[in-house]
Amino acid sequence: MPGNTRRISRTTRTSAISSPGISSFANEPCGQRYAPLGVAVPTLPALEQPAAPKHFPFPNTTVEDDLVFESLMCSFTIITAGLQYLHLYRSVWWLPNSYTSQAVNFYLIDPYLVLFITVILSRRLVYMIACRLLNRAISERFHNLCHYYIRFILFCVMCLILSFSTYFVLQSHQIEKILYLCYPFFIYLILFGFNIHPFFELVNWSSSTPPLHACSSNAVEIRSEIENLVANFNSKMKEILFCAIINAYYAGFIPCCFAQSALHYDILWTAQHIIFIFISGFISLSIHVLSLRYFDILHRSALHLGTWEKLETGRTMLLVNNIWREDILWPFGALVRYGKDIWRAQGDCNSSEPGNVCLRRFYNIFKNPTNTLGVNLLVLILMVLDQLIVLISCTLWYKIISLTFILFFNYYILYKLLRDYLISHKIYREEREMHRKINMR
């Protein structure tokens, strides 16, 4: 062997081959990660602590006052209930030999049923007005205590009025129909128990102390924060759905349910009216309760949470030494072993648990809240277009009045929802560009 010839040791050659970092495996398919013949299976080096994601400053957006919102919702539901009565008991007052000069046959309407519906639909507005008046008269430290007594007193008064009206409704209707009036109360007991707070106040205790994002670097604290936010969001959605259903039920369904058996009316039109009440009420409640600021809190927490992508373990020869631990923040592209599977980290930093469906759903929904607003916007636009088409082809006077009122209310909702969508789209698009420049991805 010549004297000037030098051979590289086998140990040196092996270490030179097995030195690539995480980034070299992060974006490759599992089928391409094969070790060359005669070479040791590559392993991953130690992980570095990921940097906390940067949050784009969110602008101050106007939020509608609770009293104004409750006034609008109360007016909308009571007027739509009156329009449903118009669909049922309209008259032919314009005919020369008509027996009535009024547009509605009021003598066919049960006034005690109307009282029952009005009390249910106006409960939150009455409570809000009473709280505002007392807040001006007493010290701030007694507000919570006074609100509690207001709820208790109003609940007792409501029970008396509802019992009074139910008794007289029972005189002219079968007892089976009374169950229709009480059915939502059983649903309320299942959802909220014996707590009367959600019955009077739409935005629950989190309105005064809204959930906050701590921007923590502790994985356990981040998951705990996410669990609290998920519980808070679910409680808000439960209230929104219940209130929207209650509004549509008492304003649209109950008048039809207690109509006389000999009364003939357009069933499809009244059913469509109930659907319009529900969709309009649901989107309006969602805009007010789930504001842009609240969505931004959930979005920031989702950036700290991240998610995991499950890899195919049968075709890879990559030896993953990292076992998932609950107290570690994992960087983007990190490969960990959790159980018998291998998972790859997604997001700027990852504190999620692999395979946790609840955490993955939270990240997918709130990593870009614009998608959620876009779904509501699409549904509202389709409903408005449908109402416009029906209005153009409509010739009956009571249908024109009904559609015109609901359209004007939906125009107002559409304006607020479109404003929120455009702001959210611009903010989070700039945030994604900022993250892309920082991470060079």
Specify the pLDDT at position 441. 52
Answer yes or no: is pLDDT of 10 > 50: no
User: What average pLDDT score do residues 347-355 get?
Assistant: 87
Specify the pLDDT at position 137. 86
Percent of the chain with pLDDT over 70: 84
Give which of 273, 238, 285 is closest to 383, Cα–Cα. Answer: 273
Cα 329 from Cα 50, distance rounded (Å):
7
Position with higher pLDDT, 17 vs 405: 405
Specify the pLDDT at position 112. 95
Cα 417 from Cα 75, distance rounded (Å):
20
User: What average pLDDT score do residues 220-239 get?
Assistant: 91
Answer yes or no: is pLDDT of 201 > 80: yes
Give which of 169, 393, 382, 379 is closest to 287, Cα–Cα. Answer: 379
Inter-CA distances, 22 with 29, 44, 226, 334, Å: 13, 6, 28, 6
Specify the pLDDT at position 210. 56
Cα 25 from Cα 270, distance rounded (Å):
60
Read off the pLDDT band of 313 (50, 70, 90).
low
242: tokens are 């219940």
Residue 35, helix vs strand vs coil: coil
User: What average pLDDT score do residues 388-411 get?
Assistant: 95
Read off the pLDDT band of 360 (50, 70, 90).
very high
Specify the pLDDT at position 257. 92
Cα 271 from Cα 399, distance rounded (Å):
13
105-114, 133-142, 161-170, 204-213: the lowest-pLDDT one: 204-213
Question: Model-level pTM greater than 0.75?
Answer: yes
Specify the pLDDT at position 68. 93
Task: Sketch the domain layout of the chain as residue ranges.
Answer: 66-303+357-439
Strands (E), 312-435: 330-331, 335-338, 341-346, 349-350
Provide the mean pLDDT of the chain. Answer: 83
> What are the pLDDT digits (tens) for 271-301?
999 999 999 999 999 999 998 989 999 999 9
Read off the pLDDT band of 314 (50, 70, 90).
low
Specify the pLDDT at position 25. 42
H/E run at residue 307: strand 307-311
Exposure string for 403-427, b = 16+ CB within 10 A, e = fewer: beebbebbeebbeebeebbebbbeb
Answer yes or no: is pLDDT of 205 > 50: no
